[in-house]
Chain A
Amino acid sequence: MRPDLSIVTLTALAGIGEGIFIFIVAIDSESVFTGVQVPLPSLFFGAFMALAFTGLGTIASFFHLHHKDRGTKAIRQWRFSWLSREALLLPLFMLFVGGYMALLVIGAPDSFRLMAGLLGIFFAMALAFSSGMIYATITFVKEWNSAFTPVNFFMIGLAVGGAWAVFVLEITGAGNAYALTALRFSIGATFIAMILKFLAYLRNANIYSPTGVDSAIGANHPDVVLMDKGACYEHYNTKEYYHKPFRGLHRIVRTLVVATLFVAPLFLMMKDYDSIISGGSDTFTMVAAVIMVLGTFAERWLFFAEGNHIQNLYYGNFINKGGVNPILVSNKNSAPLPPG
């Protein structure tokens, strides 16, 4: 599929916003229960960052819509359409983040604030899930049509959000104890996100074509090739659904994703972990947080670029990865049919 920059930005930034907010509220709850209050400005600034990331993502998403004036119509089909649910949950999530910030400012009781925060977490998770399900339910892009899609969206957002939460806690001087807790969890989240993304890449490398051009046009022949696309030039069907993987670009981007989203940040965060324990600061995590944003963009761009829509069969653009349909394999291995 052709990666659309506005959708890449929306899913990447909203995911990070969700991750930051989950971390901030988790730290807030921990501090309320342990009785050692984390400084309120740190929480406020953290929630503000979550709102800023999500808000920027939302602004980017408007560039994808050609009729922004009808934007509110997008929530009409929330009972059926995942896109509609995303459109509904995005403002709801931002509303609760805003509410949480407001309660911090007016100095509302902890229980009120935590309640708003926990509801915000619920909407953050529902939003991440809906965003992923938009793509996971497209049966005709096999790379997307998997449980890995919403899980990867959520975990990557959480991992990057975690690094940003540490960043925020550090620059607002929240103290090393909280930074250490946040860092521990964000290392864990990054590690789990990495494993899940590796599994998704592994799955997609061995994916098989759901059907062939023979079934697409119904010609019962093993050897069907396209002669004429029926147009003088490229058009919607050859541009929207196809991203030419020229000169191994996809492989380069994948390496970039692994390096900037997982390997380098894990290394930097673990270095900080040691230095905080020995009383130092966590400057490396700030670097990690910044490059992880880059990594998230690269990951999301690749996610779209590698989506291989089966309508490409009609235009000779379907990329056959050479994976084998397990049903065909099992047929091959079964006993030959009796004669007659």
Chain B
Amino acid sequence: MSERQKQLALVIDLNKCVGCHACATNCKSWNTSGQFGPLPDKAPYGEEPDGVWFNRVQTYEAGTFPNVEVVHFPKSCLHCVDAPCVKVCPTGASHKRLEDGIVLVNYDDCIGCKYCSWACPYGCREFDDIEGVMKKCTLCVDRIYNEDLPIAEREPACVLCCPSEARVFGDVNDPESRVSRAIRDNMGFKLMPSAGTNPANHYLPRRKVKIEVDTARIRVRKKPAADTGRREMTGDMGAIEDFSAGG
């Protein structure tokens, strides 16, 4: 049997993402100060802030009022297996690494023609007009193999900081990896499957989650809730249900 090709990727759980933008800001912070930095950040406190981000979080509403749910949707390069951005690059600056499947741009070769960004259906590449080269998510290649970092921190910045643990990192071609299990157990899917890009990153869908609560264990606070402005928890709230339309 030929050796299985490694393909590192992120799995993003849309059911857990709370839209806090921590991944986006940490990505920006690491990548503007890491080995690949800096990233443009024009007028960050002005009226028209503009800059390069490898990861952005958009928010969508699904359904019509009152039957709506909110979907927070983080998007960074999906490290496609059949990456169209790589095939069009005239210089070979955009490449897909054989050893781990990460799609990278060699900033020393890029001529800044932007052709690769047009070929990406997901809008995952952003142009650095200060350095004149194309940039995108590196899957934190300067963290995951970085021997200066403690082993626990050799993970992408966006994964480490996610407060709801909506992001998982690993080898999607290893059937026993955490990412593969997450995909398998939760009906993980790829974006725009018809685009023929075969993205390595996967998403986990919105789904109904029921948390059974033992009512006997709920303690009702004596102190009136009006002080804190919070709603009082009552004993008849048997189950907390996620308001999910999809799934």
- Chain A residues close to B by CB (< 8 Å): 1, 64-68, 70-71, 73-77, 80-84, 87, 134, 137-141, 210-211, 213, 215-221, 223-237, 240-241, 309-312, 314-315
- Give the chain B neighbours of A221 by CB distance below 8 A: 62-63, 245-246
| A232 with B49: CB separation less than 8 A | yes
Whether B121 lies near A77 (C-beta < 8 A) is no
| CB under 8 Å from chain A, chain B span 182-207 | 189-196, 203, 205-206
Interface residue B92 (Cβ < 8 Å from any Cβ of A): yes
Shortest beta-carbon distance, B199 to chain A, in Å?
11
| Known interface pairs A138-B119, A218-B189, A235-B126; A227-B61 also in contact (CB < 8 Å) | yes
Most interface-central of A141, A218, A241, A311 (chain B CB within 10 A)? A218
Q: Quick check: B118 and A138 within 8 Å, CB to CB?
A: yes
In the complex, the answer to whether B60 meets A315 with C-beta atoms within 8 Å is no
- Cβ of B117 within 8 Å of any chain A Cβ, yes or no, is yes
Across the interface, which residues of A come within 8 angstroms of B49, CB to CB?
A: 231-233
Chain B residues whose CB sits within 8 angstroms of the CB of A220 once the complex forms:
205, 246-247
Contacts of B64 in A (CB 8 A): 223
Q: A87-B90, A137-B88, A217-B73 are in contact. Are A233 and B50 (CB under 8 A)?
A: yes
Q: A83-B115, A311-B121 are contacts. A219–B71 as well, Cβ < 8 Å? A: yes
A227 in complex: contacting residue of B70, B93, B196, CB < 8 Å: B70
Q: How far is the CA of A227 from the CA of B97 in the complex (A)?
A: 36
Is B51 located at the chain interface by the 8 A CB criterion?
yes
Q: What is the chain B residue whose CB lies nearest that of A237?
A: B123
Determine how close the nearest CB of chain A comes to the CB of B171; give it in whole angstroms: 22
User: Contact check: which of A65, A84, A213 meets B60 at CB < 8 Å?
Assistant: A213
Of B19, B112, B203, the residue contacting A65 (CB under 8 A) is: B112
Residue from A134, A211, A217, A226 in contact with B194 in the complex, judged by beta carbons closer than 8 Å: A211
B245-A76 in contact (CB<8A): no
Q: Considering the complex, give the chain B residue whose CB is closest to the CB of A74.
A: B90
Residues of B within 8 A of A77 (CB): 89-92
Whole-angstrom CA separation of A210 from B126 in the bound complex: 23
Tally of A-B residue pairs with Cβ under 8 A?
Answer: 173
With both beta carbons as reference points, the residue of chain A lying nearest to B90 in the complex is identified as A84
Shortest CB-to-CB span from A227 to chain B, Å, is 5
- The chain A residue sitting closest to B24, CB to CB, is A230
* Cα–Cα distance between A300 and B112 once the two chains are bound (Å): 21
By the criterion CB–CB under 8 Å, are A234 and B132 in contact?
Answer: no
Whether a CB of chain A sits under 8 angstroms from the CB of B52 is yes
Q: Can you report 8 residue pairs joining A to B where beta carbons are below 8 Å apart? A: A66-B129, A71-B111, A215-B193, A217-B58, A218-B190, A218-B205, A228-B19, A315-B58
- For the complex formed, measure the closest distance between the CB of A265 and the CB atoms of chain B, giving whole angstroms: 32
**A233-B58 contact in complex given A77-B89, A77-B90, A309-B118, C-beta closer than 8 Å:** no
Knowing A66-B129, A226-B60, the reply to whether A76 touches B90 (Cβ < 8 A) is yes
A126–chain B nearest beta-carbon distance, Å: 16
Measured CA separation A236–B61 after assembly (Å): 23
Contacts of A231 in B (CB 8 A): 49, 53, 56
Report chain B residues within 8 Å CB of A217: 14, 58, 60, 71, 73, 191
Find A140's partner among B59, B121, B132, B133 (CB 8 Å cutoff): B121
Q: How far is the CA of A226 from the CA of B61 in the complex (A)?
A: 6
Scoring B residues 52 to 95 as 1 if CB is less than 8 Å from chain A, else 0, what string do you get? 11001111111110000011010100000000100111111100
